[in-house]
Amino acid sequence: EVQLVESGGGLVQPGRSLRLSCAASGFIFDDYAMHWVRQAPGKGLEWVSGISWNSGSTGYADSVEGRFTISRDNAKNSLYLQMSSLSPEDTAFYYCGKGLSAAIYGGTDHWGQGTLVTVSS
Amino acid sequence: DIQMTQSPSSVSASVGDRVTITCQASLGISNWLAWYQQKPGKAPKLLIYAASSLQSGVPSRFSGSGSGTDFTLTINSLQPEDFATYYCQQANSFPLTFGGGTKVEI
């Protein structure tokens, strides 16, 4: 069974940094692209970032480009999102998602339960 | 960036109804489109990928169609568990944008 468990969320002050982690199990991690998607409370889904199976290709939403960095450690079956220069607009539930294939394109077929990031002074 | 326009934003329906949701891309995306269902407090669930391929385990009353810029999600014979919010997502080019969502309610 595919399992994705996010961690690292919490309350952080504006301008500070935070690192999210996603522990994956139940599938061959390095066969698939991975994604981060977020959802502000009461709002719709926003794709944040994606990374191909071998980290050779990454992509970001315009809203986080230059502030967030996605990475993965295939030896540890883990996905990360380093977030910097956080603003209240980054407040959201952050979901880790497994891609449909090794490439970033194509969608996400399994999701974690999310971790809440609150940016506030 | 490719914009995804989803309509309607909400729809009232009854059990047994047929519901159709549309999604329009601002540029052609071939068949690189996915549909998701999300219930309150839960993570999204993949229903359809590649515009018309049914994800494993998803009931056959869900179907998707379209190519290029215009896409449709159809739910035949709506069931009580189908009341949720539905999102489309283009998976053709960065950033992988979502539509604004359609809430299916009683």
| DSSP conformation letters of B42-76 | S--EEEEETTTEEPTT--TTEEEEEETTEEEEEES
- Tens digits of per-residue pLDDT, B50-98? 999 999 999 999 999 999 999 999 999 999 999 999 999 999 999 999 9
What's the CA gap between B27 and B83, in Å, rounded?
30
A99 touching B, CB under 8 A?
Answer: no
* Sheet-wide strand order for B19-25: B4-7, B19-25, B70-75, B62-67
> Which residues of chain A make contact with B98, given a CB cutoff of 8 A?
44-47
Q: Which of A46, A47, A107 sits opposite B49 (nearest CB)?
A: A107
Looking at every residue in chain B, the average pLDDT score rounds to 96
* In chain B, % of residues over pLDDT 90: 97
Residue B37: closest CA among chain A residues belongs to which residue? A45
- Tens digits of per-residue pLDDT, A27-56? 999 999 999 999 999 999 999 999 999 999
Question: Which among B19, B37, B15, B33 has a CA at the least distance from the CA of B70?
Answer: B33
> CA of A39, closest CA in chain B: separation in Å?
10
Q: Which two tokens stand for residue A106?
A: 């194509």
Q: What per-residue confidence (pLDDT) applies to B64?
A: 98
B50 touching A, CB under 8 A?
Answer: yes
Q: What per-residue confidence (pLDDT) applies to B58?
A: 97
Q: Per the CB < 8 Å rule, is A47 touching B98?
A: yes
For chain A, residues with pLDDT lower than 50 are none
